[in-house]
Structure 1
């Protein structure tokens, strides 16, 4: 018996020692905190006083410098008083203590206001005015009691008038407002801050009432309020700033802990001595406690929700606070109530009565049920209720325990989600595109909009059919059941980390439509990797493109015919020479044969010359026929030199007619081009013919009519290619028309049709090239024009796939 007793006494001693030690440590920290916050409050008050002092000193300095008249002084004084609540008034005091002018705060009672002409009483505030006059510096008076019971101090700032004392600016500061607005709120929240006089008089603030000492107030751990005081500078020692800590509940807690530890020690000793005697009584108490615990435990299972207990007859016997807060009905109004209950909506009485009968009879759903509940203010909210039987200590059912949870917000969110899904489906169903989503390696169709269902039906056959027709979209092969290495093997790596859409154009014979197919990989809501297809009907666009392609081909053929028509006279003149030579050779041979004066060698020579002239004429006609022949664009691997020779052979006919000399500079080892040679020859002929017409328009003398064609290799954006440069010394292009020369049906020539350069640019861009133009200048005068055509080499562009469309020319605008 002594062992437990000694242990209890040692435990009590250790608790008391620790309590005393930690209490003293806490008090020391509190003293340091109070002293530090007192200095902080004193500094903030001092700064606020110095700010007011500086503002008043500026007024005094302006008066001394005669830059401030009485009216302006009153305006500035009014601004200061209204902006700073601690100022009760600012006045201009003459050298003989008369009030010249000033402004009083509206809160000052009329009898306490100072008016112009009023003389300050001698020795006011212990002679602060005279002290300021003698010291020539700001002086604060001792605290003065106002008529309204508050305290204030007067600040006198003297100024000189022609090196003589000219008076002072007097500012009256309310100590209560200074304390209220000068001390930081965080200090006021933790401490009782007051302003006291040097004799202990309370000047501002509310001092704490002395706390009543408890029966253990004299003990070492008893909490005592900490207090610290500092003089308020620059007022002086007449005003002290006192900060007193607000008394926490630590004193009462320490006393309670002491008594609790003591009571527990005594009770432990008593229990040790009387354990055997009270064992039977304790057993009875434990049985009663077990019954109460079972009852409480059933209610505590849903402590965060509303709880209601019904007896076997359906009468409410218990409701917790949460249930009352939800419904708005008090416990007194609900206890003993029978159906219909006050929180039942009137329109739901029949339904809720049937639900109550199910509860009482034990027909309850394990997942609970939703019911509307009416608050006392008439508003309705929805709740989910769970019902379980209430069992007593003897195992008998005494009623039903019901827990209620407010599901108004989850129900609203669920309805909004359903509405959002409906809007989402409505938008997708109204699109003109067919959208389908299906997982990989599966015939399941996760989503399909209305357009997809109209085209392909409800199943995934349409989705799979589009993937089969689309060669540009990667389709994964079916994984073997035994191959579990990587279910994503074969997918493009970039599509797994970025939402990159693939585009392709496919023809679906079943629909008779051309579809533009876009696809991307997505992570579905269940975490699976799925593939989304977006199919757009582009049949009309394809037809328009085919029509545009046909129109472009017709425009190119028409342009070549127009070019030949313009060159008709030159071509006729060019053909006239070999035909005349053939006629002369034939006439000469006939005449000499009739006279019998021709030898066989001479006849063979004449016939050979005649054949060469006929071949020359036939070559010209064949070249013209090939140039104007209507054919579809057919890119082939073409030799640059041959294309230049064919183009210059025809263009030189027209240039010679205008007495224009053509110089061709062809670089060696030019790469071949993957182009349609006829179209490129058409571009060169058009540019050379335009150059000759520009020189003809400029009226150059015959010796200065020159067109240069330079063909050299050149790299553009890191790609190899060939550049054709046509340079002339004609009249050039007007600068204001330089940006419009490629527009359809726009021409700078009086008889031009405006399709030549437009068509040339379309041909060059269809071969992935560039056509540019610029004027050549001699000083500020235009001396010619230069057209540059750049075409990529054959190795640069990739060959088109079998399923891709052929390159088509743009339509003419």
Structure 2
């Protein structure tokens, strides 16, 4: 009896049906029992179908509500778009009306602005300016407007809707829209914007919209694609757009047939006279209407699908078995062919698997390694403690993500470097059964890395030890790719110093501003020409450092492929100071040379000054005597005073000319006239030449351009050459007929360059060959009292003006008939103006 009782921990059996039900079922015949047994599943199916139909009906009602809400939301969105478009046009017309009222726009400009607005906004068809007397002053219509709807300038508004809206806008003093209707006048929506000038009505600006254009461009495309959108007038008549035709009345009797899904909303600011309506397109209800048929078909299809699915599932299991075998063979072949060693450990550190590559690396076979526990035979003896500690970390899950580097001993005792990567070994059930280790031989990469590191250290040491600043930055970025020690000492670790040197040197470099796609100025151009071009040099001054730097730059392709710019800056401050001192000394030498020249000409200058001073003294004594004796009249007195004044002026001019010649001043290059420089030099040298009884003639070509030179320095060169020519003639003791010097200034072509050549030709004894070789040597002179700096300074002055000086002997057969000194100044940078007339004068 106790064995039939349920165990305490077993669940109780379901309760038996009530006794009355068992009694009733047993009283039924087998036929009736079979019928009831068949009716029960049928009733269950019918109840299931009824539940499905009810569910579909409920879902349909929910769907209709959602569709109605969607239509309402989309129509309101479209209404907002149309409203905003009308308000934007209204604001533009109000601004135009304000400008017209303020007399800032005339009819011609109104036509231009109206044309621009009509072209820009397709729904706007006509813009008209109507003054306070209802006369049309200006109107513009779109090309699509028919001739019947056009107005003419000067026309008076005729009675009608437009005239009534005009009066309403005048009375309300605010924009007024017409109430459009189907078949209305002109078929356009009108907006009357009044114009007021200090409270006085000045007419209206009439804008007329195309109803179709407003619908086409105002309603979003996604709304127009989903619904039949139309604009209605106040009476519900369609003005523009489309509508869904009414459905068949017979279908309205079906319980699942839905009413037309539509929604209407007035368009502000027009008001109730313009209504926007959207109707959802008709959707098929066949699936819902014949739901029972599809439900039975779906159940049948499901039964067949289950049988077919069971058969296909069996086939997939067989195919999966074959694929598993093939995958296992493939993985085994892949493991045997790979160069990375694989090793698996269990939780106790015992080797459970090694592949062929691992055995090949270590020299031990799979049978010798599988099942081994630490210490493993491929551990070097000197690293066992360290490797045991790392294995303990590995078994406890404390592994580095980037792997670890160890030394591994081969079976023959040799060592190699390896990198180990450890990951958990998880079985098919998701349980970790151990650890998988991959080993790669990195002996050769380590050797290459050490060589590269050594090379990089040598390269860095050389650059850091340079006495020049080296920096590299990419074009179009403020990133600093490289900077050596001197650059960091001068400018820090930022790219500002690099960009400053590039900007001061005038080398093109792109700065990041606008950032279309962060491309540099040379994007799309071949970089080969840039990187192979010669470096650009410039000398700049950096105020922050107080140094002069010589900057050399060139383009190069950086290691990441970007086009970069390298700048090398060398400190040239000592050299610049030396050049400045040399220039100052040269200037002092030039002043000293002029003083020496004037010292040598002192006696001639004194003789020249003696004549006007003697004349002044004689005139003064004569005047005093005649005034005392009262033997002079007013005319003779004025004539004598005039002559005295001219002599005093002559003496002053001589002194002023000598003073300006010997005065020390900074070089001042200005556009200088060749005639003026030659005449000034002739007046200074003429005294000396006349004292030595030497004739002087000169010729200056006509229409010479002005030269960008320091005229005092060029005059100094000419005076020195003329004085030397006179001394050479006197030293040669030529007779009076052969004592002459000629000065010429003519244009000339030298090496495809336009120049002005100055030449001094004398009739002296010429230059000896040994003198010709040392002619321009400093402190060399053929005169006993000479200092040897005259010709040297003359050549320095000419070369500082980018010119050249030349000397040659003139021969008459085998006899030297004289010497010719010449120099030329380039015309580049000269001002091409006419420099006087042709002058050929003999003195």
TM bucket (normalised to shorter chain) is 0.5 to 0.7
* Offset, 1:620: 1.1
2:712 is the alignment partner of 1:697? no
Shift of residue 675, structure 1, vs aligned partner: 0.9
1:575 aligns with 2:609: yes
Residue in 2 aligned with 1:435?
470
Alignment of 1:150-161 (within 5 A): none
Matched, 1:299 2:335: yes
Q: Whole-Å Cα distance in 2 between the matches of residues 797 and 493 of structure 1?
A: 40
**d(CA) in 2 for partners of 1:296, 1:365:** 28
Judged with a 3 Å threshold, the aligned counterparts in structure 2 of structure 1 residues 635 and 394 are, in CA distance, closer, same or farther, namely: closer
2:718 maps to which residue? 684
Which segment is superposed worse, 657-666 or 316-325?
A: 316-325
* Aligned: 1:370 with 2:405: yes
- SS of match in other structure, 1:434: strand
Deviates most, 514-523 or 715-724: 514-523
**In structure 2, C-alpha distance between the alignment counterparts of 1:299 and 1:490, rounded to whole Å:** 48
**In the alignment, does 2:688 pair up with 1:654?**
yes
Indicate which of 409, 416, 419 corresponds to 2:454: 419
Secondary structure of 1:370's counterpart equals strand
Partner of 1:448 in structure 2?
Answer: 483
Against the structure 1 CA distance between its residues 562 and 360, is the aligned structure 2 distance closer, same or farther, given a 3 Å change threshold?
same
Moved more, 327-336 or 503-512: 327-336
Other-structure match for 1:121: none
Q: How far apart, in 2, do the equivalents of 1:569 and 1:626 lie?
A: 19
Residues matched between the structures, number = 515
Deviation (angstroms), 1:350: 1.8
| CA apart distance, 1:742 | 2.1
Offset, 1:765: 1.5
Cα distance change on mapping 1:311 and 1:299 into 2, 3 Å: farther
Q: Structure 1 residues 612 and 338, CA, compared in 2 at 3 Å: closer, same or farther?
A: same
- Aligned-pair Cα RMSD in Å: 4.0
Choose which of 731, 741, 761 in structure 2 pairs with 1:707: 741
Aligned to 1:86: none
Deviations 1:7-61 (A, max 9, x none): xxxxxxxxxxxxxxxxxxxxxxxxxxxxxxxxxxxxxxxxxxxxxxxxxxxxxxx
Change (3 A) 1:395 1:514: closer
Which of residues 456, 468, 479 is equivalent to 2:513?
479
* Matching residue of 1:497: 530
What corresponds to 2:583 in structure 1? 549
Distance of 2:654 and 2:426 partners within structure 1: 117
SS in 1 for 2:825: strand
2:442 alignment partner, one of 407, 413, 437 = 407
SS in 1 for 2:466: coil
Query: How far apart in 2 are the matches of 1:727 and 1:703?
Result: 15
1:636, 1:675 within 8 Å by CA — same for their partners in 2?
Answer: yes
The change in CA–CA distance for 1:638 and 1:393 in structure 2 (over 3 A counts) is closer
Following the alignment from structure 1 to structure 2, what is the Cα–Cα distance between the partners of residues 500 and 435?
Answer: 17
Three-state SS of the structure 1 residue aligned to 2:764 is coil
Q: Secondary structure at the match of 2:660?
A: helix
Per-residue CA deviation, residues 708-728 of structure 1 (Å, 9 max, x unaligned), is 211101122333221101122
**Is residue 388 of structure 2 the alignment partner of residue 353 of structure 1?**
yes
Q: Which runs of 5+ in 1 are unaligned?
A: 1-281, 799-813
Partner deviation per Cα, 1:223-275 (whole Å, 9 max, x = no partner): xxxxxxxxxxxxxxxxxxxxxxxxxxxxxxxxxxxxxxxxxxxxxxxxxxxxx
Asked if the contact 1:495–1:521 (Cα under 8 Å) also holds between the matched residues in 2, the reply is no
After TM superposition, the structure 1 = structure 2 runs for residues 251-650 of structure 1, keeping only pairs within 5 Å, are 293=329, 296-297=332-333, 299-300=335-336, 303-306=338-341, 326-327=361-362, 339-359=374-394, 364-365=399-400, 367-375=402-410, 379-387=414-422, 402-466=437-501, 470=504, 472-474=506-508, 476=510, 478-481=512-515, 483-484=516-517, 487-488=520-521, 497-498=530-531, 499=533, 501-650=535-684
Q: Is 1:664 matched up with 2:698?
A: yes
Deviations 1:429-454 (A, max 9, x none): 32333333334454433333222332
Q: Report the CA distance between 1:349 and its aligned residue.
A: 1.8
2:775 corresponds to: 741
1:583 alignment partner, SS class? helix
TM-score by length of 2: 0.54
Cα distance, 1:778–1:766 mapped onto 2, change above 3 Å: same
Determine the C-alpha separation between the residues in 1 that align with 2:323 and 2:430.
14
1:757 matched to which residue of 2? 791
Q: How far apart are residue 642 of structure 1 and its match?
A: 0.8
Assess if the C-alpha contact under 8 Å between 1:306 and 1:404 holds in 2: yes
- Provide the secondary structure at the position in 1 that maps to 2:761: strand
CA distance in structure 1 between the aligned counterparts of 2:342 and 2:570, rounded to whole angstroms: 58
Q: What SS does the aligned partner of 1:304 have?
A: coil
SS at match of 1:416: helix
Label 1:797 to 1:519 Cα distance change in 2 as closer, same or farther (>3 A): farther
Determine if contact 1:290/1:393 at 8 Å carries over to the other structure. no
In 1, Cα distance between the equivalents of 2:753 and 2:604?
40
**Mean CA deviation greater in 742-751 or 316-325:** 316-325
Q: Aligned to 2:728, what secondary structure does the other structure show?
A: helix
CA distance in 2, matches of 1:703, 1:748: 25
**SS in structure 2 at match of 1:750:** coil
